[in-house]
């Protein structure tokens, strides 16, 4: 059997088109069923039943919702800026859908014409592409909110941009820790490095994982960070004036962002499509599909198979679904932060922690590399212990109530300080 | 009965923890997620369990030969606080009184059940029933035929020796 080659020529073109269609359909289907999952899970959490009337177990509910939204009347506010009002939902939805293109979702698939990589576009700038494109989504929110000519919509849009700017910093810093360890921004290589380390990066980079998780919730405008929507304060935030399908495109963008960020978290921190063991390790190394290196430095060729592709795809889907369920679970548990709490958490906690952690990881990898420790289990174990200590320190610090505490606790603290200073209690204490 | 007030224990400012509170909250929601309390009644499929003294729309009891039990004594329109019963009595050859017209406007009715309590021959009853939808408003004035056709269970009168109807 001759060496496995990647597909090329017209077969490669057909494979690319097929992957684009399948990934797009898969993301859209997941988005549709996330709306159902959100409603069912929230219902169960609140001891209700949820939508169960359309189809068996309500499984056709997303289709009914879509039909309803398509048939509903579209309203245009009289004094809105028409062009930007129409562009808002499009700009919000588009980046949410295209970011999935760089995420590898299964092991390479061998076909008659060559090996097909299970990623739409394995671009060399991987994570940078995601960071660049997801930031564009907030323009849709801001434009839609501003063009509505409604003060609540404008406030929602402003909050969206402020929040996005604040948390992109922490998100970027936690990704930098991953990049230092992976040594590359290509997502296939991030997966490969996790396979070689015998550790998923959630362990050696546990603090980056926590920072990324918190920032991802803020970036996707999900509770407890749904300041742009904040229905109890801002009516419905940036989409107050939208109706029908134009409205539906905003939640679709939100869910698509959730799917992408869940897939990204699975890829960066839970090994992507990787399963324990080295049987599924595959990577293009100088034109050869290898599964690892032998002790003398020569390559071990990989043996891709259809069942390996399917099994790794299931692993990837389960990891992504896990994060999606946690998204919903957290939403129906936590109350919304106050606006100042959101900003304080982003700038005073996550940013310095991220900076410090990047220094720590950079220093640790430098020392380990200088000691000549090979990239492998021991390397990962040392970093896991180090990060575990950093995480424990971070959580103890966060747990002390220095950063996020309620108004009651702040008032109590003031009372205690006054009491210690001998100032008598006042009205309002 | 005394009002009981549940005092929530507030965490001390220095010991107050966001993360632990979050985790315990998520544990609580998870318990409900995997084991939700069954409180919803799937209404069209599952019948509501109406109380024995539930008072719904009326029905008129009939004799075995199909005549209404009503003797047109006029007590029910007299006692009715909403004035929703219209009764015109008549008398047959043997001198038995019977209702010529007996109409109840269910829109005016307040479902107090006093017509049932006052009836000396146990003819008019309020019933254990609540599905009353109609397409026009005039269908809500129930005439005698309609009242005799109703077949839902009748309401139990309050018994002082069994105040909870157990």
- Taking residues A370-390, what's their average pLDDT? 84
CA A410 to chain centre: 32
The alpha-carbon gap from B28 to the nearest alpha carbon of chain A, in Å, equals 8
User: What is residue A416's predicted lDDT score, i.e. its pLDDT?
Assistant: 61
Residue A9 maps to a domain: no
Cα–Cα distance between A292 and A133 in angstroms, integer? 33
User: What is residue B16's predicted lDDT score, i.e. its pLDDT?
Assistant: 64
The overall average pLDDT reported for chain A is 83
The alpha-carbon gap from B51 to the nearest alpha carbon of chain A, in Å, equals 24
Search chain B and give the residue with CA nearest A417.
Answer: B13
* Closest by CA position to A329, among listed A260, A279, A386, A262: A262
User: What is residue B88's predicted lDDT score, i.e. its pLDDT?
Assistant: 92
Rounded alpha-carbon distances, angstroms, from residue A267 to A163, A191, A273, A336, B130:
24, 7, 7, 28, 57
Residue A51 maps to a domain: no
- CB interface of A with B, residues 382-401, below 8 Å: 395, 398-401
Coil vs helix vs strand at B92: coil
| A310 phi/psi in degrees, rounded to 5 | -65, -45
- pLDDT tens for A356-377 read 999 998 998 888 888 887 877 8
Residues 6+ apart with CB under 8 A from B5: none
Phi-psi region of A121 (alpha: psi -120 to 50; beta: other; left: phi over 0): beta
User: What is residue B49's predicted lDDT score, i.e. its pLDDT?
Assistant: 84
Residue B166 maps to a domain: no
Tell me if chain B has a CB within 8 Å of the CB of A405: yes
Asked if residue A406 has pLDDT above 60, the reply is: no
Range of the domain at B107: 58-149
Residue B115 maps to a domain: yes
Residue A369 maps to a domain: yes
Beta bridge partners of B59: B125
A221 secondary structure, DSSP code: T
Residue B93 maps to a domain: yes
User: What is residue A334's predicted lDDT score, i.e. its pLDDT?
Assistant: 87
Residue A333 is nearest to which of B18, B29, B36, comparing CB atoms? B29
ipTM > 0.85, yes or no: no
- Taking residues A135-149, what's their average pLDDT? 87
Tokens of A261: 């960020």
Per DSSP, which regions of A273-375 are E strands? 283-285, 288-293, 299-301
CB-neighbour burial class of residue B82 (10 A; exposed 0-12, middle 13-18, buried 19+): middle
Contact B73, B82 (CB under 8 A): no
Residue A408 is nearest to which of B10, B20, B25, comparing CB atoms? B10
Lowest mean pLDDT among A137-141, A324-328, B106-110, B160-164: B160-164
A128 pLDDT band (50/70/90 cuts)?
Answer: confident
Contact B22 A334 (CB under 8 A): yes
User: What is residue B13's predicted lDDT score, i.e. its pLDDT?
Assistant: 56
Residue A32 maps to a domain: no
Range of the domain at A380: 71-420
Asked if residue A1 has pLDDT above 50, the reply is: no
User: What is residue A319's predicted lDDT score, i.e. its pLDDT?
Assistant: 92
- pLDDT tens for A13-60 read 888 898 899 999 999 999 999 999 999 999 999 888 888 888 888 889
Residue B69 maps to a domain: yes
Q: A194 or A1: whose pLDDT is higher?
A: A194
- pLDDT tens for B70-114 read 998 989 999 999 999 999 988 888 888 999 999 999 999 999 989
The overall average pLDDT reported for chain B is 86
Residues 6+ apart with CB under 8 A from B115: B58, B76, B79, B80, B85, B124, B126
Cα–Cα distance between A185 and A278 in angstroms, integer? 22
Cα–Cα distance between A116 and A284 in angstroms, integer? 11
Report the share of chain A in percent with pLDDT over 90.
11
Lowest mean pLDDT among A4-8, A132-136, A143-147, A307-311: A4-8
Residue B44 maps to a domain: no
How wide is the angle at C-alpha B60 spanned by C-alphas B54 and B64, nearest 5°? 125
A298 secondary structure, DSSP code: -
User: What is residue A399's predicted lDDT score, i.e. its pLDDT?
Assistant: 65
The alpha-carbon gap from B43 to the nearest alpha carbon of chain A, in Å, equals 12
| B86 phi/psi in degrees, rounded to 5 | -110, 120
- Taking residues A269-292, what's their average pLDDT? 79
Q: Looking at beta carbons, which residues of chain B come within 8 Å of A410?
A: 13
Tell me if chain B has a CB within 8 Å of the CB of A131: no
Contact A409 B11 (CB under 8 A): yes
Residue B67 maps to a domain: yes
Q: How many CB atoms lie within 10 A of CB B107?
A: 10
CA A257 to chain centre: 7
Q: Looking at beta carbons, which residues of chain B come within 8 Å of A412?
A: 10, 12-13
B150 pLDDT band (50/70/90 cuts)?
Answer: confident
Contact A392, A206 (CB under 8 A): no
Number of domains composing chain A: 1
Residues 6+ apart with CB under 8 A from A337: A224, A225, A227, A345, A404
Residue B126 maps to a domain: yes
Residues 6+ apart with CB under 8 A from B29: A45, A329, A332, A333
CATH of the domain at B65: 3.30.70.3270
- Taking residues A270-294, what's their average pLDDT? 78
Residue A35 maps to a domain: no
- Taking residues A296-319, what's their average pLDDT? 84
Residue A18 maps to a domain: no
Cα–Cα distance between A157 and A235 in angstroms, integer? 13
Asked if residue A409 has pLDDT above 60, the reply is: no
Cis-peptide into A224, omega within 30 deg: yes
Number of domains composing chain B: 1
Tokens of B142: 């129930």
Cα–Cα distance between B55 and B113 in angstroms, integer? 7
Tokens of A415: 């009372």
Tally C-beta pairs within 8 A across A and B.
Answer: 64
Cα–Cα distance between A304 and A282 in angstroms, integer? 8
User: What is residue A161's predicted lDDT score, i.e. its pLDDT?
Assistant: 87
Search chain A and give the residue with CA nearest B34.
Answer: A44
Contact A308, A279 (CB under 8 A): yes
Coil vs helix vs strand at A128: helix
Residue A198 maps to a domain: yes
Q: A177 or B18: whose pLDDT is higher?
A: A177
- Taking residues A69-83, what's their average pLDDT? 86
Q: A208 or B37: whose pLDDT is higher?
A: A208
Residue A225 maps to a domain: yes
In the block, residue with structure tokens 């820790």: A177
Please list, residue by residue across A145-167, b when 16 or more beta carbons sit within 10 angstroms of its beta carbon and e when fewer do.
Answer: bbbbebebbbbbbbbbbbbbebb
Asked if residue B43 has pLDDT above 90, the reply is: no
pTM confidence score: 0.80
Rounded alpha-carbon distances, angstroms, from residue B10 to A289, A418, B17, B21:
60, 19, 11, 12
Cα–Cα distance between A214 and A223 in angstroms, integer? 11
């Amino acid at each position: 059997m001759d060496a496995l080659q990647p597909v090329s020529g017209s077969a490669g073109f057909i494979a690319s088109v097929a992957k684009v269609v399948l990934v797009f359909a898969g993301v859209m289907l997941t988005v549709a069923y996330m709306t159902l999952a959100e409603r069912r899970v929230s219902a169960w959490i609140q001891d209700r039943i949820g939508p169960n009337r359309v189809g068996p177990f309500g499984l056709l509910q997303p289709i009914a919702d879509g039909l309803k939204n398509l048939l509903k009347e579209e309203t245009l506010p009289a004094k809105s800026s028409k062009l930007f009002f129409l562009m808002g939902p499009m700009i919000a939805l588009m980046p949410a859908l295209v970011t999935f293109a760089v995420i590898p979702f299964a092991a390479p698939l061998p076909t008659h014409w060559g090996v097909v990589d299970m990623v739409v576009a394995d671009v060399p700038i991987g994570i940078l592409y995601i960071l660049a494109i997801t930031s564009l989504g907030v323009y849709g929110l801001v434009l839609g909110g501003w063009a509505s000519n409604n003060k609540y919509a404008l406030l929602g849009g402003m909050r969206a941009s402020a929040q996005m700017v604040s948390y992109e910093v922490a998100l970027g810093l936690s990704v930098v820790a991953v990049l230092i360890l992976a040594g590359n921004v290509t997502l296939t290589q991030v997966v490969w490095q996790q396979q070689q380390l015998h550790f998923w990066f959630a362990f050696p980079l546990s603090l980056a994982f926590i920072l990324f998780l918190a920032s991802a919730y803020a970036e996707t405008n999900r509770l407890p960070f749904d300041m742009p929507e904040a229905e109890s304060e801002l009516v419905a935030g940036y989409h107050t004036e939208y109706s029908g399908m134009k409205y539906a495109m905003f939640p679709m963008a939100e869910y698509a962002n959730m799917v992408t960020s869940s897939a990204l978290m699975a890829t960066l921190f839970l090994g992507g499509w990787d399963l324990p063991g080295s049987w599924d390790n595959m990577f293009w190394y100088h034109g050869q599909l290898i599964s690892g290196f032998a002790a003398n430095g020569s390559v071990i060729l990989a043996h891709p198979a259809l069942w390996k592709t399917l099994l790794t795809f299931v692993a990837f889907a389960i990891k992504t679904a896990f994060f999606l369920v946690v998204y919903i679970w957290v939403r129906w548990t936590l109350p919304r932060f106050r606006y100042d709490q959101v900003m304080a958490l982003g700038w005073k906690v996550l940013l310095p922690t991220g900076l410090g952690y990047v220094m720590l990881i950079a220093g640790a990898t430098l020392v380990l590399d200088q000691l000549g420790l090979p990239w492998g289990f021991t390397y990962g174990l040392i970093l896991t212990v180090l990060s575990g200590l950093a995480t424990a320190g971070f959580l103890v610090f966060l747990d002390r109530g220095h950063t996020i505490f309620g108004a009651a606790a702040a008032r109590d603290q003031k009372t205690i300080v006054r009491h210690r200073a001998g100032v008598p209690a006042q009205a309002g204490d | 009965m005394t009002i009981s007030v549940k005092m929530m224990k507030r965490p001390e400012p220095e010991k107050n923890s966001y993360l632990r509170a979050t985790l315990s909250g998520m544990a609580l929601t998870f318990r409900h997620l995997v084991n939700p309390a069954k409180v919803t009644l799937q209404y069209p499929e599952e019948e509501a369990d109406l109380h024995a003294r539930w008072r719904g729309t009326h029905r008129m009891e009939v004799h075995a030969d199909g005549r209404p039990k009503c003797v047109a004594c006029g007590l029910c329109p007299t006692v009715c606080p909403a004035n929703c019963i219209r009764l015109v009595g008549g008398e047959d050859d043997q001198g038995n009184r019977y209702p010529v017209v007996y109409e109840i406007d269910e829109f005016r009715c307040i479902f107090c059940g006093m017509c049932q309590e006052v009836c000396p021959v146990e003819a008019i009853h309020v019933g254990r029933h609540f599905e009353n939808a109609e397409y026009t408003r005039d269908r809500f004035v129930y005439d005698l035929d309609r009242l005799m056709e109703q077949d839902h269970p009748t309401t139990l009168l309050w018994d002082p020796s069994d105040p909870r109807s157990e």
